[in-house]
Amino acid sequence: MKQVSIFEGKNKFSELVANAAKGEPQLITKNGTATAVVISFTEYKRLTAKKQSLSEFLLDSPLCGIGDELDLTRDKDMGRPTIDFNSEEFTGPSGK
Position 92 in a domain:
no
Can you give the pTM of this predicted structure? Answer: 0.53
* 48 in a structural domain: yes
**Residue 36: inside a domain:** yes
CATH code: domain of residue 40: 3.40.1620.10
**Could you read off the pLDDT tens digit of each residue along the chain, which spans 96 residues?**
899 999 999 999 999 999 999 999 999 999 999 999 999 999 999 999 888 888 888 888 887 777 777 777 888 888 888 888 888 888 887 655
E-strand spans in 1-96?
Answer: 2-5, 26-30, 33-38
Residue-number span of the structural domain to which 7 is assigned: 2-62
The total of structural domains in the chain comes to: 1
Tell me if 11 sits within 8 A of 3, measured CB to CB: no
